[in-house]
Copies of this chain bind each other. A is one copy, B any other.
Amino acid sequence: MQNEINIKDIIITDDFWSKYIRLVKDEMIPYQWNVLNDEANIKIDAERDDENIPIEKSHAIENFKIAAGLKSGHHYGYVFQDSDVYKWLEAVSYSLINDSNSELENIADGVIDLIGLAQQKDGYLDTYFTIDDKERMFKRLLESHELYCAGHFMEAAAAYYSVTGKRKIIDIACNLADCINRYFGPEEGKIHGYDGHEEVEIGLAKLYSVTKDKKYLELSKYFLYERGKDSNFLKDQLKDDNNKTFILPGMGKLPQKYFQVHQPILKQETAEGHSVRLMYMCTAMADIAYLTNDKEMLEACTKLWNNITSKRMYITGGIGSTVIGEAFTFDYDLPNDTMYCETCASVGLIFFAFNMLKNEPLSLYGNVMERSLYNSTISGMALDGKHFFYVNPLEVDPVASKNDPGKSHVKVTRSEWFGCACCPPNLARTLTSLGKYIYTNLNNTIYTHLYMSNEVDILINNNKVSIKQETNYPWAGDIKFSLNIEKSSNFSMAFRIPDWCYSYSVKVNDEKAEYKIVNGYISILREWNTFDTIEIQLDMEIQEIVANPNIKDDLGKVAIQRGPFIYCLEQVDNGENLHLIKLLKSSRYEYEFDSKLLGGVGKIKSKAKKLIIDDSWEGQLYRSDKKSPIYEACEITFVPYYSWANRSVGEMRVFINKDL
C-alpha cells in the first residue's frame, strides 16, 4: 500500500496552472458564492428543457435557511441544488491551503453552521425533502439525488476537515452517514437499494479516509455491490410510492443503462448510460478496490477503463457521444458535432484515472488524466473564469447550433451559469485540488504523473523527501526535479512518459542517467541525496494524429497535437467554412508562443489549401462533375483547443481534412 500524499503538502508554483487556481480563488469562488446567495446579476442558461423546474436563480443558500427554520418558504431549483453548495465548499477547502483567507474561512464556517441547522435530528440532510416532501424521503431514489447530495457533502467535509482540522463538518457528515446506514444495507428491514446517481460511494470512501471508521467503507462497498443486482429497484420504488408525481419529469422514461443498473457492476464490461454517473461509479469502484484490496472490483474497473479509453473517448479526453441521456452510445461512435462531452464527465474521468493510479502505476492512466485535464476539462471554462461550457464539442458551426435542434445543446459561447449548475463548481473543486493528482507513492517509488512546477513533501520509508519540480510545461518539455532529503536513501523515482512523446532524455545531476522503462515510466532506482537533480526532457514535436479508422467521423482527417494540447482551427483566425480547408500531403507546422494571444498560448501555423466554391454552384445542389476540385493556397493557424471561443462567435474544428 502507498502512503497517501497530503494535499496540504503540495504547493503549485506553475505559471500555467497558477493562473487557473487564482481564477478559481479570485473569481469563481466569490462569484459562485454570490450566485448561491442570489446576489449575482447573472444570466442563467437553461441548458436542458426541464419544464416545471424553476431556474431563474440559484436559491441554494435560501433552501438551507428554510430547511433550518430560519426562513419560511418552499424549496426552489433542482432537487439536487444542495450539491452546488457542497461542491463550492469543497473548492473553498482546497483554496484555503497555503493561502489562508480568514474571511473566506469565516463564510465557510457560517455555511457549515447553517447546514448543521438544516440537518434533521436523525441526521437526515436534504433541503428539498425536508422542506417540501418529507413523506417521500428515500422513496424516489431514481430521481431524488438524496444520496448523491449526501456524497458531495461528505467529500466537502473530508476536504474541509483535512485542510482546517475543524471537526464540526465531519460530525455533521458522520451523522448523515449514520442516518443513511440506518436506512440502507443488507439487513432485514432496511432498503436494499442504491441512488439513481452514483456519488455517495465516493463520499463514504473519503469519509472513511479521514475518520478510519470502517462502517463507511462497508456502506460504500454495499452500495456498489447492490447496484444492478435488482435492475428494477429504482422503477419498482416509484411504483410503490403512493404519490406518483415526478420530481424530475422525464426521468421515469430513462433506460436501466442510463443509471448503470442493467447488470451488477462486476458484470458491466462496456461504458453505458449517463457518462457522469458512470465516471462517479468507476471512481468509487477504483477507490474501494484500492482501499479494500478487492481484485475482482479492480478487474471490473479495468474492463470499463479499457472500453472507454480504447473505444469510446474523444481525442480531447471528452466522453459521452450523445446528448440524449448525456450518454455513451457504442464502440467507435464519436461524432464531433453532436456529442455531449460534458465538462463534469471529463472531470470524472480524471477522478477515475487517478484512483486507478493508486491501484496500479501504469502510464496509460496518467496519459488519459493529462489528456482530459489539458483539453476537454479546462475548455469548460473561459479564460476569464466566469463563463462555462457544459458541452465541449470538437466541431462547431454557429448556424447549425442555432438552426438544427439536434445541435441546440452545442453552445458557441460559454454561459454565465446553468440551471443545472454541476459543471462550474466541479471545475472549481478540481482545479483547487490539482496538487493531489501529480504524484503517487507506492512500493518504494515516487511516481510523477503530471508535470507542472510545484513543491511537495513526500514521506517514503519514513523519510521526508522534498521535491521541487520546475518546468515551462505545457509549452515546453524540460522538467527539472531538485531533491531535499532528510537522510540519503534508496528508492525509485518514476516519471511518466506521455503517450505523445516519442523521444526524450534523462539526466541525473547533469549527467546521462541509467533508467529502466517500467509500465510507461522512466524509473530510476538509486540512492538519492539532497541536492540531487533529475532533468527530464520530453520532445514536444508537433504531431498529426490519426484516429482509428473505425471512427467514421474522423476518416480522412487529422488532429494536431503538441505536448498535452490538442489544437483546433477557429473561424476568427481562418475564415468561415473550415470544412473546406485541407491539409497538404506534406504539411509542415511551425510553432510559436504568442504571449499576447489568448492570455499566452503556443500557436501553430501551416500552409494548407481551401476548396473554392465558385459561382457555377449557385442554385445547384448536385451535379455530374468530371473536373477535379479547385483549391486555393492558404495559411492556417491552430490554437490550443481549450482556448477556443474566447474571442468571437464562429466555427471551430479539431479534426481537419487532409490529403492522405
Interface string of A239-259 (1 = CB under 8 A from B): 000000000000000000000
**Closest B residue by C-beta to A309:** B621
- CB neighbours (8 Å) of A329 from chain B are 400, 403-405
A541 to B89 Cα, complex, angstroms = 71
- CB neighbours (8 Å) of A561 from chain B are 624
- CB neighbours (8 Å) of A580 from chain B are 549, 555
Contacting B at CB under 8 A, from A297-333, are 306, 309-311, 313, 315, 321-325, 327, 329-330, 333
**Closest B residue by C-beta to A577:** B550
Q: Is the CB of B624 within 8 A of A548?
A: no
Q: Is the CB of A623 within 8 A of B545?
A: yes
Q: Is the CB of B620 within 8 A of A548?
A: yes
A313 to B619 Cα, complex, angstroms = 12
Q: Is the CB of A310 within 8 A of B546?
A: no
- CB neighbours (8 Å) of A579 from chain B are 552, 555
Contact of A405 among B322, B552, B613 (CB under 8 A): B322
A600 interfacial by beta-carbon distance below 8 Å: no
A657 interfacial by beta-carbon distance below 8 Å: yes
A406 interfacial by beta-carbon distance below 8 Å: yes
A620 to B550 Cα, complex, angstroms = 11
Q: Is the CB of B549 within 8 A of A333?
A: no
Contact of A315 among B310, B548, B622 (CB under 8 A): B622
From known contacts A547-B621, A548-B617, A548-B622, infer whether A629 and B660 are also in contact, taking CB-CB under 8 Å: yes
A562 to chain B, nearest CB (A): 11
Q: Is the CB of A613 within 8 A of B315?
A: no
Interface string of A549-567 (1 = CB under 8 A from B): 1111001100101000000
Q: Is the CB of A502 within 8 A of B660?
A: no
Q: Is the CB of A404 within 8 A of B322?
A: yes
A628 interfacial by beta-carbon distance below 8 Å: yes
Q: Is the CB of A405 within 8 A of B325?
A: yes
A269 interfacial by beta-carbon distance below 8 Å: no
Interface string of A623-634 (1 = CB under 8 A from B): 111101100000
From known contacts A404-B329, A657-B555, infer whether A621 and B322 are also in contact, taking CB-CB under 8 Å: no
A597 interfacial by beta-carbon distance below 8 Å: no
A11 to chain B, nearest CB (A): 34
A544 to B551 Cα, complex, angstroms = 26
Q: Is the CB of A624 within 8 A of B406?
A: no
A476 interfacial by beta-carbon distance below 8 Å: no
- CB neighbours (8 Å) of A625 from chain B are 544-546
- CB neighbours (8 Å) of A571 from chain B are none
- CB neighbours (8 Å) of A324 from chain B are 405-406
- CB neighbours (8 Å) of A313 from chain B are 621
A70 interfacial by beta-carbon distance below 8 Å: no
A321 to B551 Cα, complex, angstroms = 23
- CB neighbours (8 Å) of A617 from chain B are 548-550
- CB neighbours (8 Å) of A637 from chain B are none
A343 interfacial by beta-carbon distance below 8 Å: no
Q: Is the CB of A544 within 8 A of B624?
A: yes
**Closest B residue by C-beta to A626:** B544
A502 to B626 Cα, complex, angstroms = 13
A399 interfacial by beta-carbon distance below 8 Å: yes
A338 interfacial by beta-carbon distance below 8 Å: yes
- CB neighbours (8 Å) of A545 from chain B are 622-625
A402 to B257 Cα, complex, angstroms = 14
A500 interfacial by beta-carbon distance below 8 Å: yes
Q: Is the CB of A623 within 8 A of B400?
A: no
- CB neighbours (8 Å) of A406 from chain B are 322-324, 338, 406
A171 to chain B, nearest CB (A): 45
A34 to chain B, nearest CB (A): 33
Q: Is the CB of B621 within 8 A of A310?
A: yes
Q: Is the CB of A502 within 8 A of B310?
A: no
A543 interfacial by beta-carbon distance below 8 Å: yes
Q: Is the CB of B403 within 8 A of A333?
A: yes
A551 to B321 Cα, complex, angstroms = 23
List chain A positions with a Cβ less than 8 A from chain B.
Answer: 306, 309-311, 313, 315, 321-325, 327, 329-330, 333, 338, 397, 399-400, 402-406, 500, 502, 543-552, 555-556, 559, 561, 577, 579-580, 611, 613, 617, 619-626, 628-629, 657, 660
Per CB-CB distance, the 6 closest pairs between chain A and chain B, nearest first, are: A330-B403, A324-B405, A546-B625, A543-B624, A310-B619, A329-B404
* Other A-B pairs, 18, CB within 8 Å; known A330-B402, A500-B624, A545-B624: A306-B619, A310-B619, A322-B406, A325-B405, A329-B400, A330-B404, A333-B400, A333-B403, A502-B624, A546-B622, A546-B623, A547-B622, A548-B621, A548-B622, A550-B577, A552-B579, A555-B580, A556-B556
